[in-house]
């Protein structure tokens, strides 16, 4: 019999963080599609990244105060840290678009951003599923899909860089765009890291 209740609020924080990340990815997609300007998108993405940082710091603080956690403490720390990395890389990519003064309305950038947004959405859904580990198959389906999307992002990145080297004559532009593409793909890698942690938690507790 458990004498002290488990602190379940961590799930609230995970879900809140994930929804903000999805929102940040959506803003980036809108910029890459030309729906909003770089000047409009980048400050909003920076704001979302700061909000995600605040949630992350709060979760880490709670870990030091709570006696019984719903899942292993180390898993909570690893999970929120990798989640925070996703938005960090999205913000870094947006920052480079503004800093390098490149046209954010870009076909290859849009393709990478759409895959990332899908990965963030599946990540959010998987985290909601963690509230009920009695149905692990539903959560694991989301994790498998995130892994597939990460592979798709790898393909998109290779294609974007190949086209860049083939068509862009200015080496400075090549350097700028290569860095931006790679930052966005790294954000998708971090979604996969989150999925791998979730998968481990599910398998341990099912």
Task: Please write the tens of the pLDDT for every residue from 34-55.
Answer: 999 999 999 999 999 999 999 9
**pLDDT above 70 coverage of the chain, percent:** 96
Where residue 168 falls (left for φ over 0; alpha for ψ -120 to 50; beta otherwise) is beta
Q: Which domains does the chain have, with CATH numbers?
A: 9-205 (1.20.58.220)
- In this prediction, residues 111-128 reach a mean pLDDT of 97
Q: Which residue has the higher pLDDT, 33 or 132?
A: 33
Token pair for 204: 């341990």
- In this prediction, residues 100-105 reach a mean pLDDT of 88
The confidence band for 6, taking pLDDT boundaries of 50, 70 and 90, is low
- Confidence at residue 7, expressed as pLDDT on a 0 to 100 scale: 60
- The length of the chain is 206
- In this prediction, residues 138-160 reach a mean pLDDT of 96
- In this prediction, residues 100-127 reach a mean pLDDT of 95
Cβ neighbors of 104 (< 8 A, separation 6 or more) are 31, 32, 34, 37, 38, 41, 97
The confidence band for 104, taking pLDDT boundaries of 50, 70 and 90, is confident
- In this prediction, residues 44-73 reach a mean pLDDT of 93
Report pTM. 0.92
Nearest-CA neighbor of 29 among 90, 88, 79?
90
Token pair for 14: 């995970």
């Amino acid at each position: 019999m458990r004498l002290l209740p488990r602190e379940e609020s961590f799930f609230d924080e995970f879900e809140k963080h994930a929804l903000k990340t999805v929102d940040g990815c959506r803003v980036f997609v809108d910029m890459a599609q030309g729906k909003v300007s770089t000047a409009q998108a980048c400050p909003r993405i920076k704001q979302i990244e700061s909000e995600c940082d605040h949630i992350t710091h709060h979760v880490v603080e709670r870990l030091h105060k709570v006696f019984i956690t719903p899942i292993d403490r180390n898993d909570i720390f690893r999970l929120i840290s990798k989640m925070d990395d996703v938005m960090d890389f999205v913000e870094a990519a947006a920052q480079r678009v503004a800093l390098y003064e490149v046209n954010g309305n870009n076909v290859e950038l849009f393709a990478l951003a759409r895959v990332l947004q899908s990965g963030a959405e599946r990540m959010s859904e998987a985290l909601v599923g963690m509230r009920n580990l009695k149905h692990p198959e539903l959560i694991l389906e989301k994790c498998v899909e995130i892994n597939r999307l990460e592979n798709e992002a790898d393909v998109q990145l290779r294609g974007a860089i190949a086209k860049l080297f083939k068509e862009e004559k200015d080496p400075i532009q090549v350097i700028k765009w290569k860095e931006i593409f790679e930052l966005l793909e790294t954000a998708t890698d971090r979604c996969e890291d989150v999925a791998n942690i979730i998968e481990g938690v599910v398998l341990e507790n099912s």
